[in-house]
Chain A
Amino acid sequence: MALPEVKQTVTQARLANLVMPDAGCTRAAREDALARVLEMGLPSRRDEYWKYTRPDTLIAPEAPHAAVFHSDEPLLFSDLDRLKIVFVDGVFSPEESDDLTLEGVSIDRIEDICCKDIHWAKELYGVLETRGQTPVQRPLAALNTAFAADGVAIHVTGKPSKPISLIYRHASDSSDAMLHHIVRVESGAEVTILENGPAAARFNKCIEIDIADGGTLHHVRAQGRDHERRAATHMFTRLGRESVYKSFTLTVNGVLTRNEQIVELTGDDAIAQVSGACVGDGDFHHDDTVFITHDAVNCESRQVFKKVLRNGATGVFQGKILVKQGAQKTDGYQISQSLLLDDDSQFLAKPELEIYADDVACSHGSTSGAIDETALFYLRSRGVPTKEATNMLTLAFLAEAVDEIEDAALVEAIVNRLEGWLSRRS
């Protein structure tokens, strides 16, 4: 079907401002991705998949200005021993980054994968993104594959002693960054990847993660801080037999965030967990869109999303569990809950199940409401002031999502941050 004229115009206007990097061996993948963008067109409000989130500022030719937010508070995870990889406005910063050598893992910049002839990376770039385009189109991810100027290729062959930490620094009010990372976790290998920082005025990020049989990847990300920043992120993950993928995202503010997670369970007995906690205070829009495909036997997937919203914040959750024919013994679980602290905020959800196998246990739940008056009354009757009681209940609500993280140190770092945020803002 031919693209509507409006879409064509918008797409062309965006493309006019972009230059494809001189990419060597990824050239073909980038050209293919550009062709996909042209075929699909960039998203519009009328697309079903963008029903609850306005994509206009994400696809505008110029990134809307976003002031850099100054805070004395150090970035999250700064107390942890980790291998730092720093990007400033979407450009790798060797000065601020650590030495990239670590046992059990090799890390290279995307632009080096051709000259160093890194086979796995050349073969993965754009592949999972392409797979993730059906049945739902994700034009912003294709745009990223075509035009991303930087990123890293992480090859995990063992069990590195510390987490790999991707840090995104926002320095210019008008930066428009696109990063594309690829990760391959080999059989039996295990790694933790951390991501945090506001990145840029507008940030488009794509990560493709391929986990081989028996591999494990933990991913913990914190987004937020800069109130005016915008972000659209995609994570495409493919899981082999008996592999494990656990991802958690903490989002605090940011005028617009759209996080898409596309997970494909292709090997038997694999486990995928995607969770998130979001705190929106003010004119913030936060969208979690998750698509989990079960295409193997006896796999388990879990989605746990919690959102606390106030002062006009909007929380969106679009989650889907697709169980393909033959994916028997699937255990799929999904919960999305919102806590609305006032009448100006809203929660919009579309939790979906699409099931073509009969021997499965799939369920989803979604709730929305205010703070439980009875619980509040209980705390107050024990002498806890209203503000503190509200904070305690809010934190308890969010904790159910934070608890999905396995590493206790990371849980503590995040809970501390949330506690601080709640006490300051209340």
Chain B
Amino acid sequence: MAALDQTQVKEGVDQETVDAVREVGTYKYGWDTDIEMEYAPKGVNPDIVRLISGKNEEPEWMTEWRLAAFERWTQIDEPNWAMVSYPKIDFQDQYYYARPKSMEEKPKSLDEVDPKLLATYEKLGIPLKEQMILAGVEGAEDMPAEGRKVAVDAVFDSVSVGTTFQDELMKHGVIFCSISEAIREHPELVKKYLGTVVPVSDNYYATLNSAVFSDGSFVYIPPGVRCPMELSTYFRINAENTGQFERTLIIADKGSYVSYLEGCTAPQRDTAQLHAAVVEIIIEEDAEVKYSTVQNWFPGDENGKGGIYNFVTKRADCRGDRSKVMWTQVETGSAVTWKYPSCILRGDDSQGEFYSIAITNNYQQADTGTKMIHLGKNTKSRIVSKGISAGKAQNTYRGLVSMHPKAKDSRNYTQCDSLLIGDKCGAHTVPYIEVKNNSSRVEHEATTSKVDEDQLFYCRQRGMDEEEAVALVVNGFCKDVLQALPMEFAMEAQQLVAISLEGSVG
């Protein structure tokens, strides 16, 4: 962590914060698994698209859908508006499909899965054996296993290795499987919903993903069902020069509820790797989805070499009235992050929330934020974003809040805070606010080293000194974001973040 040592740390930023950021820089998941892989030829063209489709044993309509996406992709340009810079990506110099040889014959159960693969996930702290609990949470072993079940879909490079607790979930009518399996087993659902939230031609990376996505997760929660356990997908990139393109589709039918977790890591390599995922969430009447991510892809070394280029399109469509979505993300990895989990608030009284902590260090660049599109009446959204930048990193919040003429009596509150550690990094805020009716209220606030004066005033009125008051307000605020995470992730995230803003204000 030479980069951080050399930079001048601003007076007032306490040691704990500096150490925590330093800690983030030491990547714990940089090892790779030595396993025999099977690759598709390098590059992307209609044949590769057909090959991926064939490997997944997809029906004709799906292959056509992919080919149409590929056709479209060749006609559009890479976006360049984000505040990130990286060498031009040669999309023909990548593998678009890589799977462990042992996965050629799809294992019928987890017992048949290559032990090497299982060991990989074990080492990452993601045991795939049922009845085992998600490790990495201190003290979790002592808790009753029953209450702490998490179903996991593990994706290794281009394929899903296995999905746990499928039988138990089935009893409740919940479908949780890999997307390739869903295309085969539940074509009617996939056909109805795939590409309806993120259309094929949405943007450059989403279009590429539509053409070449190899696997990902599929979730369907039937009407009125509260998913009995948390669902989780763990993405691992292992192969070199391979892009990972996963696709996740979550459907929460009327009155249902699900909490979904996503984790990701990759080995430490000198060359940058591409990850372009698409997540679509459909939320019907009275349903609620919580989507939490701890993104910990390899961020590159302290000289900015290697790392993952993370170009992700995530969007939730609150179609029904009173539907609700909550995005929570802790972004600590990736060399370049380009990610805007968004909410389309179509149903009346629907709600969208976005909580984000983005930490960048060394040469990392993150351009992340959200879009809140208010279409329905009385819709509410809340954005809380914390950006922490250290070393030579650039951290940008980019967001849109749009109140359409028909979104009467809607409400948005946005709060973006940035903290800079060292004088070589940057923190930026680029919000777009579009208000087209007068009964809605929109409030946007962004600060760098500043806390809400009213809250401070309140604390001081109650006899606290300024320092104490600042500590309380800021600390409470950051913890709010962490607390939005489900238990399983909160601990991991806290270990990753563990950053206190105390003393940095004033």
Interfacial residues, chain A to chain B (CB-CB below 8 A): 48, 325-326, 328, 338, 340-343, 345-370
Contacts and interface: CB of A to CB of B under 8 A. Distances in A.
B439 interface: yes
B150 to A, nearest CB: 39
B431 A369 contact: no
Given A343-B437, A350-B431, A369-B441, A328 B449 contact: no
A81 to B, nearest CB: 41
Contact of B435 (A341, A346, A364): A346
A366 B433 contact: yes
For the complex of A and B, 7 pairs with smallest distance between CB atoms:
A340-B438, A358-B420, A369-B441, A368-B435, A349-B433, A353-B429, A363-B447
Given A328-B423, A359-B10, A363-B446, A352 B438 contact: no
Nearest to A315: B435
B474 to A, nearest CB: 14
B19 interface: no
Interface string B410-428: 0000000010111111111
Given A354-B426, A358-B425, A363 B448 contact: yes
Contact of B448 (A353, A366, A368): A353
Which of A342, A347, A355, A370 has the most C-beta atoms of chain B within 10 angstroms of its own C-beta? Answer: A355
Given A325-B423, A358-B10, A343 B438 contact: yes
A308 B264 CA distance: 48
Given A360-B448, A362-B450, 13 more contacts: A48-B81, A340-B438, A343-B439, A346-B436, A349-B444, A353-B427, A354-B426, A355-B428, A358-B425, A361-B448, A361-B449, A361-B450, A370-B438
A360 B449 contact: yes
Which of A358, A363, A367, A369 has the most C-beta atoms of chain B within 10 angstroms of its own C-beta? Answer: A358
Nearest to A334: B446
A348 to B, nearest CB: 5
B65 interface: no
Nearest to B443: A367
Given A341-B438, A358-B10, A363 B428 contact: no
Contacts of B421: 358
Contacts of A352: 428-431
A340 B435 contact: yes
A348 B434 contact: yes
A230 to B, nearest CB: 23
Given A342-B438, A343-B439, A347-B435, A362 B447 contact: yes
A346 B445 contact: no
Nearest to B433: A349
B31 interface: no
A314 B365 CA distance: 35
Contacts, number: 116
Contact of A348 (B433, B438, B444, B446): B433
A355 B424 CA distance: 10
A63 B432 CA distance: 31
A340 B403 CA distance: 13
Nearest to B505: A361
B80 to A, nearest CB: 11
Contacts of B442: 366-369
20 contacts: A48-B81, A325-B423, A328-B423, A340-B437, A341-B438, A342-B438, A346-B435, A348-B435, A349-B431, A349-B432, A351-B431, A353-B428, A354-B429, A359-B10, A363-B448, A365-B446, A366-B443, A368-B440, A369-B441, A370-B439
Nearest to A328: B423
A186 B403 CA distance: 48
Nearest to A340: B438
A347 B449 CA distance: 28
Which of A325, A346, A365, A366 has the most C-beta atoms of chain B within 10 angstroms of its own C-beta? Answer: A366
A350 B432 contact: yes
A189 B487 CA distance: 64
Interface of B: 10, 81, 403, 405, 418, 420-450
A346 to B, nearest CB: 4
Contact of A355 (B405, B439, B448): B448
A352 B445 CA distance: 11
B379 to A, nearest CB: 15
Contacts of A328: 423
B385 to A, nearest CB: 12
A325 B439 CA distance: 41
Given A348-B435, A355-B420, A365 B426 contact: no
Nearest to A349: B433
A343 B440 CA distance: 10
Contact of B445 (A326, A343, A354, A365): A365
Contacts of B441: 367-370
Contacts of B437: 340, 343
B446 A357 contact: no
Nearest to B398: A352
Nearest to A355: B427
A355 B428 CA distance: 6
Given A340-B435, A342-B438, A368-B442, A325 B424 contact: yes
B449 A364 contact: no
A341 B429 CA distance: 29
Given A358-B420, A358-B422, A370-B439, A363 B433 contact: no
B445 A363 contact: yes
Contacts of A340: 435, 437-438
A354 B447 CA distance: 11
A295 to B, nearest CB: 15
B414 to A, nearest CB: 9
A350 B443 contact: no
Contacts of B426: 354-356
Given A48-B81, A343-B439, A370-B438, A365 B430 contact: no
A367 B444 contact: yes
B433 A368 contact: yes
Contacts of B431: 349-352, 366
A348 B423 CA distance: 33
Contacts of A346: 434-436
Contacts of A347: 433-435
B438 A369 contact: yes
Contacts of A363: 445-448, 450
Contacts of B433: 347-351, 366, 368
A354 B387 CA distance: 13
Contact of B430 (A338, A348, A350, A368): A350
Contacts of A353: 418, 427-429, 446, 448
A295 B444 CA distance: 26
